[in-house]
Amino acid sequence: MFRLGMSMFRKLFVVPVMIAVLLITCQAAFAQDLVKVADNVYAFIAPSDGPADSYGANAGVVIGNNGIAVVDTLMSAKNATRFINDIRSISDKPIKYVINTHYHMDHTFGNAEFAKIGATIISQENARQNMEKYLPYELAHFQNFGLTQDEVEGTTIAYPTVTFQNKMGLDLGDQEIQLIYPGPSHTDGNILVYVPKAKVLFAADILVTDYYPMLGDADINEWVKALDFINTLNVTSIIPGHGPISTPKDVTDMKEFLLAFDQNAKKLCARSTDSDFIASTIQNLLPLRHHSALWIKPSIEIKYLKNSNSINVNE
């Protein structure tokens, strides 16, 4: 048996081991926000509720034999690039489709990065119209939404090139995806993304768990019906638009929260036009949610007092 010199030992053993560890560490870092929900179905769970992390917006990945479908694209080019890196850490299949669940910027401002790599962007037809109406203003006035120049650097708008009215199906080979428009809810163009084989539902902002919802575009009565519809589907995992992976109980809690918010907001707005007072009172009356209380005030102003049609989280 021969003895290796220290220099040769480092070259033959230490360096390769260090490289292997580095590669594994980098891959783990890329995929740190992806959670496996079922075979070939992943959720991108936001690490925080701040503007740099798309205000806590979640996204999704469905992998089939023929390619990948992505559910929402987060709130900037930087976040979308990070998401793409996450996807590439688990699959090298082509990203064929991007599904926009609704028009809001925290779910759509990453579209262009996916379009650059050949993905077809899909949405409900109302969502596409709302994107054209609102997104240019929102990107131009990004400071109103708590974003910095650095956070939006490189962000451009890419619109859906395919739209539908009520239902649409996508075939990834061994994985079917159903796009379902349940009617107006969080907005007039929100959809559900259902993966029957995996029994997974991406509910987007029709369900937000432990977050205060933004109600500026909401139709509360129809939203409640959409939540009831969710509980008719055969699912084992529900990915909300914001918050942790959820259950049917979270859907019921959301329904009760919306009805209570609506009832209290109407009563308070009949007596006062002070949005700060109304927002703080509602927050004290309703069950605590730990994230995104900043949306209560604009929800009151836009939906109930109707004295504003835009958002500025800095006020």
Q: Which pLDDT tens digit goes with each residue over 132-166?
A: 999 999 999 999 999 999 999 999 999 999 999 99
Distance CA 314, CA 299 (A): 15
Q: 82-104 pLDDT, tens per residue?
A: 999 999 999 999 999 999 999 99
Mean pLDDT of the chain: 90
Which of the two residues, 9 and 229, has the higher pLDDT score?
Answer: 229
Distance CA 286, CA 294 (A): 15
Domains observed in the chain: 31-247 (3.60.15.10)
Q: Where are the alpha helices (DSSP H) in the chain?
A: 6-9, 15-30, 77-88, 105-108, 111-116, 125-140, 149-152, 220-230, 248-271, 275-285, 296-299
Q: Quick check: 19 pLDDT over 90?
A: no
This prediction's pTM: 0.88
Whether the Cβ atoms of residue 272 and residue 239 lie closer than 8 Å to each other? no
Q: 168-224 pLDDT, tens per residue?
A: 999 999 999 999 999 999 999 999 999 999 999 999 999 999 999 999 999 999 999
